Amino acid sequence: MTGMNQDNRQDGKRMHRTNDERTRQHSSGNGRPVSERQGSHAAQKGPRTGKYGPSSPRQGGNRPPRQRPFQETNAKQARDKNALPSPGRRAALKVIGQIYEDKAFISLALDACFEKEHMPQVEKRFCTSLTHAVIENQYRIDYVLDQFLKDKDNLNPQIIYILRMAIAQKLFMDRVPDSAIADEAVRLARNCGLEGMTGLVNAVTRNIFRALDSDFKWPERETDPVEYVRVMYSVPKWLAVRLAEEYGQEEAERICGYRGTHPMVIRPNQMQYASASDFKARVLDKKVWETEKAPWLDAFYVRGAADISRDADYSQGGFSIEGISSMLAAEAVQVRPGERVLDCCAAPGGKTAYMAEAMKGSGRVYAWDVHDHRVALIRAMSHRLHLDNVRPMVRDASLFREDMEDSMDAVLLDAPCTGLGVMDNKPDIKYKVTPEQVEELSALQEKLLDTCSRYVRRGGTLVYSTCSLLKEENENRIRQFLQTHPEFSLDTLPASFGETLLSHCGPFGLQILPHRDGGLDGFFIARMRRK
């Protein structure tokens, strides 16, 4: 494809939908555990408020230190000086450095760390929670830090990361005592060979904690709503402005402030099980996992599944790991047995598999991607699920193929996009996207729609989807497409979406919002029919 850097566009934008990455994430313990966050996926409808502002559960102060004899205190100080910081904090510092310095993706950096570092599962969970807290709330943390450290740009970056970690624990991890946070921050600095900076770390940390417990001043929503959203929900200023323009200030704040739990989602192989209840009885009821039927399609929420990639039913193709919004995009196509279907930007293949299974192994699903290594993921998926009707191919979907014009019963274009619809799950995404990239992606989406729509036969179906929240990538794209392609008209989404979701459909498609729609990934889905 043309446009922005291909690897960044494809790998970055689609990482939230990659089944293999989701498998590694949950099996290695780098998914944010439910116990570390408040509420359920369905209960959180907007930002929480508390002593430290939105999404800040921490309360209370420090317990007064127990008095010790002078000699015992000196002995304790000697022991503490030689003590190592906790494994979870050491790992988090390493991962945070890779994210800031190497532009690593948060989930991939955590996966790589856990493959190398051997630590208890509880330390992996702590490392994951701390890393997400720092990255997810970077602007808010730096707003605090800037009040107490005016020359932080001249300090060793490791010190800045350590201080960000300390503030994140204070604001967002209420089970960690202040004294432990400060002591561990000093140990981290010492462990990095920065003994000369331990005094600064200790002083700044404790000064910040005292201020946060008393009269720290945050931006005021009434006087500067954009600055309030930028700081308190840690989003770039341009994005805070754009969302407020498109959704209104209150809804924009709900969008930016939402924090979900993101349990693993699985669905049965439609060729092996007759229904969700059949799958539950034959597979899930025999597992030790905690499972819950999702309100949409045949999806299940799963918790407590350790290293699911080794599960026999998964290895033998009994089920797939796939987000519900991704399933809905494939469901919108409404494939029928024997049809010829094109999935234009298919990797890693979740929607391809959904449609191939719905066709009961008949017909053909042509699955394209521009990168060979990503097409390899589709092949591996098809082999595991025993899908003989999938045809993976390395193809640039922006280049028209005359031999395929008017030949497809249905085309699914899940277009490259900013990925801002999953920024609560992948918090590093919101810092990587720029207004210039939005324009580049919008131009690419327009070209892909123009090209791929030509493959749809008369009377056939075209489905366009993204995992974005911006109207420039979604509603405006479809509005312009329908104006320049009068041979297409908007078609209704299937009843299987459910009444609640369907009630949110607009004149050019459905925009799914995580905070409003039960924690679903933020997707846009439009179904069109060629006249």
Q: Indicate which residues carry an active-site annotation.
A: 467
**What residues form DSSP beta bridges with 464?**
413, 526
- How many Å apart are CA 362 and CA 341, to the nearest integer? 11
State the Cα–Cα distance between residues 40 and 37, nearest whole angstrom: 9
DSSP reduced 3-state for 391: strand
456-466 vs 408-414, strand pairing mode: parallel
CA distance 523 to 420: 9
Q: Are 325 and 289 in contact (CB under 8 A)?
A: no
At 223, list the tokens: 């006087």
* Adjacent-strand bridge partners of 267: 320
Give me the residues paired with residue 411 across strands: 342, 462
413-430: b or e for each residue (b if 16 or more CB lie within 10 Å)? bbbbbbbbbbbbbbbbbb
> Comparing C-alpha atoms, which of 313, 330, 310 is closest to residue 322?
330
Q: Which residue has the tokens 């939908």?
A: 17
Distance (Å, whole) CA 420 – CA 468: 5
Asked if 364 contacts 338 with a C-beta cutoff of 8 angstroms, the reply is: no
Compute how many other C-beta atoms are within 10 angstroms of the C-beta atom of residue 299. Answer: 20
Q: What is the DSSP letter of 74?
A: H
Residue 483 makes CB contacts below 8 A (sequence gap 6+) with: none
Q: Judging by DSSP bridges, how do beta strands 524-530 and 488-491 pair with one another? A: antiparallel
Q: Which of 423, 389, 381 has the alpha carbon at shortest distance from 23? A: 381
| Pairwise CA distance, residues 200 & 384, whole Å | 55
Whole-angstrom CA distances from 306 to 26, 29, 196, 269, 457 are 7, 8, 42, 21, 45
| SS3 of 203-231 | HHHHHHHHHHCCCCCCCCCCCCHHHHHHH
CB contact at 8 A, 492 and 332: no
Orientation angle between helical segments 435-452 and 475-484, nearest 10 degrees: 40
Alpha carbon separation from 70 to 65, 67, 74 (Å, rounded): 14, 9, 6
| Listed residue (391, 323, 390) closest to 359, CA to CA | 390
d(CA 6, CA 284): 39
Q: Give CA–CA dist 332/348, Å, rounded.
A: 19
Burial (CB < 10 A; 0-12, 13-18, 19+), residue 178, is buried
